[in-house]
Amino acid sequence: MKLIVGLGNPGKEYLKTWHNIGFLALDNIANAFKFENFKKEKKFQAEIATGEIKKQKAILAKPQTFMNNSGLAIGALTKYYKIKPTDIIIIHDDIDLPFGRIKIVGDSSAGGHNGVKSIIQHLKTQDFIRIRIGISTPKKEKIGSADYVLTKIGLLQSSKIKEIIKKTTSAVEEVVGVSPESAMNKYN
């Protein structure tokens, strides 16, 4: 079983912010592979949906703990479902990558991302797959990283976001259906 996690913050005020690009990606994955609807699961502190990708059972999870405590939800899910870290895919924003670029990495440090730091802390390993979605635009330099990630995605970027999310969905399919290495060669 695979656990595919999109990182973000709960609440309408964060809905279309850069920091919630992981949630947007999961919505597209759920739709593309006809997963059940997301349901809030208090015991996991997450919204989850189940289904299959390339004949592999998968759980999609949106932690509802706020970004910096994402590890709480991931820890609870992995323990309950007995999921190995190597069967986890984390999708998140990356302020250090240019807008539109995705990068797939495995067994890598958090790189300053607090949500990923929390996951590493709770799993006691960094040996999982991450799909980093670049969100850096010139506006980041004007307002600073901390404020930038919580701003709404602009109209100019909205149409390109759809393309990036589709690319991310294809990358997840490649990771699950073929291998992480194949996905890295194809999308990095």
Tokens of 166: 């589709």
To the query of whether residue 122 is one of the catalytic residues in this protein, the response is no
Q: CA nearest 47: which of 71, 65, 29? A: 65
Tokens of 90: 């984390």
Rounded to 10 degrees, the C-alpha dihedral 8/14/19/25 comes to 60
What b/e string do you get for 111-147 counting C-beta neighbours within 10 Å, with b at 16 or more? eebebbbbbbebbeebebbbbbbbbbbeebeeeeeee
Catalytic-labelled residue, pool 19, 92, 113, 122: 19
By annotation, the residues acting in catalysis are 19
